[in-house]
Amino acid sequence: MSLPNEHSRRVFMQRAVLASVLAAGGAGTLSACASGGSSGGASTGEGEVSADNPFGVAPDAPLDVVIFKGGYGDDYAKFHEELYKKQFADAEITHAGITDIRQQLQPRFNGGNPPDVIDNSGAEKLPISTLADTGQLSDLTALFDAESIDGGSVRDGVLPVAIEAGLYDDKPLVLNYALECYGMWYDQALFDSKGWALPETWADFMALCEEIKGAGIAPMAHQGKYPYYIQQFLMDLAVKHGGQEVAFAIDSLEPDAWKSESMVAAAEALAEVKGKGYMLDGTEGLDHIQSQTAWNEGKAAFIPCGSWLENEQKSVAPAEFVTTVAPTPLLDGAKLPYGSTRISAAEAFIVPSKAKNVAGGMEFLRIMLSKEGAAKFTELTAAPTVVKDAVGGLDLTPAAASVQALVESGGDDNWNYYYDVWYTPMDPKIQSAVAELAAGRLDATGFCDAAQKAADEAAADPTTNKRTRG
């Protein structure tokens, strides 16, 4: 269990994303006053506002940057800091690349002295919905409304999920920078050699599984110790069957959202995979490293995961292994197209409302969202960002190319859910129920009941801030 892997898993697993409605009409309310007005700055600084300096950053104001140094490292941020320095040569930049964000920053938040920019990610991240609920995050509306460094507004230059994922009661408070795409992963080389075609329907998938099993390979593995992964498969089946509304209902804690026809069908489908013996033996007890390694060794054909998989397995995958993502097959009567999938934005960048240099923090984010800044991120980390058309000239690996293709083929039908970060105590309960379902200890009805019970508990909890989507 090596530490970097552990962290990268958590980075993605616990993406700090939160949102409610994708701002109906973009919500023009500019919000210099939304930061609560206490000791920190407003969204304009003391410098002069100009086209090159839309937030009025004071040129000599120091900038305090804290980056989660996990799977992506922190070199990309140092590059962004150089860009910032080019603009404000007199600004003194403090850079910290750390993994224990919470331990180091909790006292600073409690003391009212937080940094100006934080990449709040990893296993030790600060509870972001709590920060948002207590008014400790700057409203980023001004950032998205501002002119982009490459021309046009910043808002038009990023994928909608970047803004949706950071919405909090209709206000964008978080910039989720890295783009993640989920699906079923397989070895293209293996499939080519066996002549296996990707299944688009559930019937085809079952037939293929039978064939794979006949070839002495387990059709599917999953990272059972962290039920989050197989849950991606389950949710994808359900949402593609019933449409975005399935995810909206779950996120809005609507009554019986987990008992919808689509969710039941998806749960039955997952139970069928387990019931017919298509799961890798013992996979429900393996962690991500063990299961993904077994998959790399050709013991299993498919594994659910996100777009970081290739990078994470770099040292393990055999040279001839061609990591490729496939969309989840469609259940009968599915509403979304086969080529759609769950995408999310991760690496949660925030500008605390009580920071000394709020304007500088916003400017830093604007630099990150430039094509130059985004391309450097992708170059250094092999991961896509939420910035549109930033990777034009880059050579993509087969995995990255398949991710790119899937993101594009899904377009507006790509979907996401947020309940896990909105209602953090509910998340482990759902995951626990998913694990029971995937291990064959709960049937579809049992799973839906257990999941609904967890959702009802969240809905009834007076300390939970309820949100809605859709």
Partner 1 sequence: MQHGRYRFVVGFLVVPLALYGVFVISPFVQAFYYSLTNWTGVSPEFEFVGLENFRRLADDSVFLRAIRNNVLLLVVVPVVTIALALLYAFLLNVGGRVGAAGVRGVRGSDFYKLVFFMPQVLSVPVIAVIWSVIMSPTSDGLLNSVLGVLGLEPSRFLANPDIALWCVVWVMVWGSVGFYLVLFNAAMTSIPRDVFEAALIDGAGRVATFTRITIPLLWDTIQTSWVYLAILALDAYALVAVMTAGPGGPDNSTQVIALQIASNGFQFGQAGYASAMGVVLFFATLVIAAIMLRITRREQIEY
> Exactly one of 134, 193, 445, 468 binds partner 1 (CB under 8 A); which one?
134
Q: Which amino acid is at 211?
A: E
Name which of 45 and 224 has its Cβ closer to partner 1.
224
Name which of 378 and 431 has its Cβ closer to partner 1.
431
CA distance 197 to 285: 29
Residue 435 to residues 19, 37, 196, 287, 432: CA-CA distances in angstroms?
26, 45, 29, 13, 5
> Exactly one of 95, 213, 225, 388 binds partner 1 (CB under 8 A); which one?
225
Q: What angle do CA 14, 30, 171 make, to 5 degrees?
A: 25
User: Nearest 10 degrees: CA dihedral of 134, 137, 142, 148?
Assistant: -150
> Exactly one of 61, 77, 126, 209 binds partner 1 (CB under 8 A); which one?
126
Q: Does 283 bind partner 1 (CB under 8 A)?
A: yes
Are 339 and 245 within 8 A, CB to CB? no
Q: In a 10 Å sphere around its CB, with 0-12 CB exposed, 13-18 middle and 19+ buried, how is residue 107 labelled?
A: exposed
Residues 318-377 that bind partner 1 (CB under 8 A): none
What is the gyration radius of the CA atoms in the chain, in angstroms? 22
> Exactly one of 255, 285, 333, 411 binds partner 1 (CB under 8 A); which one?
285
Q: Does 130 bind partner 1 (CB under 8 A)?
A: yes
Write the CB contacts of 224 (distance below 8 Å, at least 6 apart in sequence): 230, 283, 284, 285, 286, 291, 435, 438, 439
CA distance 207 to 448: 26
> Quick one: which segment of 19-27, 219-227, 307-315, 374-382 binds partner 1 (CB under 8 A)?
219-227
Residues 85-104 that bind partner 1 (CB under 8 A): 102
CB 432 → partner 1: shortest distance, Å? 6
Say how many residues touch partner 1, by CB under 8 A.
Answer: 41
CA torsion sign, 377 to 379 to 380 to 383? positive
Write the CB contacts of 193 (distance below 8 Å, at least 6 apart in sequence): none
The DSSP 8-state label assigned to residue 35 in this structure reads: T
Each residue 436-455 as x (binds partner 1 by CB under 8 A) or -, in order, gives x--x-x--------------
User: In the numeric block, which tokens belong to residue 425?
Assistant: 């105590």
Name which of 55 and 228 has its Cβ closer to partner 1.
228
CB 136 → partner 1: shortest distance, Å? 6
Q: Does 109 bind partner 1 (CB under 8 A)?
A: yes
CB 133 → partner 1: shortest distance, Å? 8
Q: Does 184 bind partner 1 (CB under 8 A)?
A: no
CA distance 112 to 80: 26
Closest alpha carbon to 420 in 168, 234, 250, 225:
250
CB 135 → partner 1: shortest distance, Å? 9
Q: Does 37 bind partner 1 (CB under 8 A)?
A: no
> Quick one: which segment of 129-137, 241-249, 335-343, 357-365 binds partner 1 (CB under 8 A)?
129-137
Helix (H) or strand (E) holding 290: helix 288-296
Name which of 201 and 424 has its Cβ closer to partner 1.
424
> Exactly one of 5, 252, 296, 431 binds partner 1 (CB under 8 A); which one?
431
> Quick one: which segment of 59-67, 175-183, 221-229, 399-407 binds partner 1 (CB under 8 A)?
221-229
Find tokens 């993994």 and name the residue: 99
Beta strands in 159-313 (DSSP E): 167-168, 171-172, 175-187, 218-220, 300-306
Name which of 82 and 281 has its Cβ closer to partner 1.
281
Name which of 134 and 193 has its Cβ closer to partner 1.
134
Write the CB contacts of 428 (distance below 8 Å, at least 6 apart in sequence): none
Q: Does 2 bind partner 1 (CB under 8 A)?
A: no
What is the β-pairing status of strands 343-350 and 167-168? unpaired
Q: Does 284 bind partner 1 (CB under 8 A)?
A: yes
Q: Does 277 bind partner 1 (CB under 8 A)?
A: no
CB atoms within 10 A of CB 29: 12
CB 397 → partner 1: shortest distance, Å? 29
> Exactly one of 386, 435, 448, 455 binds partner 1 (CB under 8 A); which one?
435
Where does this chain bind partner 1 (CB under 8 A)? Answer: 1, 102, 106, 109-112, 124, 126-127, 129-131, 133-134, 136, 224-227, 280-286, 290, 294, 424-425, 428-429, 431-432, 435-436, 439, 441, 457, 463
